[in-house]
Amino acid sequence: MEILRQHSGRLDAIFIAVGGGGLCAGVAAYVKHVRPGVKIIAVESDDAACLDAAMKAGRRVRLKEVGIFADGTAVAQVGKETFRILKDLVDEVVTVSTDEICAAVKDVYNDTRAICEPSGAMGVAGLKKYVEQHGIEGQTLLSIQCGANIDFDRLRYISERTETGEKREAVLAVTLDEKPGSFQTFCKLLGRRNISEFNYRYNDANYAQVFAGMKVTSDEDRSELVAELTGKGYTVSDMTDNEMAKLHIRHMVGGRSPQVGEEQVYRFEFPERPGALLHFLAQLGGRLNISMFHYRNHGSAFGRVLVGFQASKKDARELGAFLDALGYRYVNETDNDAYRFFLGS
């Protein structure tokens, strides 16, 4: 009612974050009854898109797992009654990434000095993506800010991710010749492009693998940068969308150990509370030899850990069964390029 009273003129679309679907269903039911021409655009995080999955399937589905960054909307299955309403009233579902949500938190703060929680900023993230995807101009679009329950320490993590979320940073792994002057030559090629991060450690007599963050202006600019470097003979792997690289590798680059031998690498998430890390280690017990470990408190509700175990691929099934029994959400990252380039022995 407030939305329509305050925007009695043109209003083209309303963007609403969806978890269980209650807020979106309520708004959609009223708005579509009073002004059916206004589009209702539901917005979900891409790792907890239960409504999107239900709309595509034509029925409610339960996701096997959900991401927990936007914890206010981290729901595995949309509500029964809310889906009954939403399936007929939602015009489109937009899914957004963690980086896009972080960029939206910053946008809202810059414009209003209000600090949203990730789920609260999700509507703005969806609005921005919708405009970009459809080339929207001259329309009146509205987003509902639906949450401000954020721990101040969590802003450290969000601020780290806003540059990639705004399409202003490329995260690249680049192979250089291991010889005097190679770094200088590489930097000259970049011209006046600003380097936001540069990590390197000697490992091989012939080649150097560097982890570099570079300022860009858009996805197109990032693609052009990769093409330019490739055209000059550099081997480049774009890791801008690689979660493991951004969460862990950028803080660990150079940590190789030829003595480790074969290892299996997993990324874990667990509820963050006092003693949680100790409990996680206790659950692992002494059954597995840990060859690599990285944990960094991001100020969020969940802790994130990267662990390497001394084990071979033939042990992977048995290892997976053991990890399943622990009950933690995990991802096998052994074949991740970021690991192979920077940490693999």
CATH of the domain at 106: 3.40.50.1100
- If asked whether residues 79 and 146 sit together in one domain, one would say yes
Spatial CA neighbour of 141 closest among 234, 46, 7, 281: 7
Same domain, 160 and 178: no
286 and 183, same structural domain? no
Which residues contact residue 83 at a Cβ distance below 8 angstroms, ignoring those fewer than 6 apart? Answer: 21, 51, 54, 60
Boundaries of domain holding 282: 255-342
Domain presence at residue 320 = yes
Quick one: 283 and 301 in the same domain? Answer: yes
Q: How many domains does the chain have?
A: 3
Among residues 137, 165, 193, the one where a domain terminates is 165
318 in a domain, yes or no? yes
Q: Are residues 180 and 123 in the same domain?
A: no
pTM above 0.85, yes or no: no
> Which CATH number covers residue 301?
3.40.1020.10
In the chain, which ranges are continuous DSSP H helix? 2-6, 22-34, 50-57, 80-89, 98-112, 122-134, 155-165, 182-190, 219-231, 243-247, 276-284, 316-326, 337-342
User: What pLDDT sits at residue 244?
Assistant: 86
pLDDT at position 303 is 77
Residues 104 and 134 in one domain: yes
Alpha helices in 96-174 (DSSP H): 98-112, 122-134, 155-165
Instruction: Tell whether 63 and 89 lie within a shared domain.
Output: yes
Q: Let me know whether 150 and 176 are in one domain.
A: no
pLDDT, residue 16, reads: 98
Confirm whether 249 is domain-assigned. Answer: no
Whether 246 is in a domain gets the answer no
Q: Please report whether residue 250 resides in a domain.
A: no
Instruction: Note whether 295 and 198 are same-domain residues.
Output: no
Residues 184 and 202 placed together within one structural domain of the fold = yes
Q: What is the CA radius of gyration of the chain?
A: 23
- Gap between the Cα atoms of 257 and 299, Å rounded: 30
Residue 25 pLDDT: 98
- Tokens representing 211 are 């982890």
Per run of 10 residues, the mean pLDDT along the chain (length 345 residues) is 92 97 97 97 96 97 89 94 97 95 94 93 97 95 91 79 84 84 78 75 72 87 93 93 85 70 87 73 76 70 81 87 88 90 79
Residue 317 and residue 185 share a domain: no
Cβ-contact 166, 97 below 8 angstroms = no
Query: Within a domain: residue 276?
Result: yes
Question: Are residues 38 and 153 part of one domain?
Answer: yes
Domain end, chosen from 165, 188, 213, is at 165
Question: d(Cα 195, Cα 210) in Å, to the nearest integer?
Answer: 12
Final residue in a domain of this structure, among 185, 214, 241: 241
Q: Is residue 248 part of a domain?
A: no
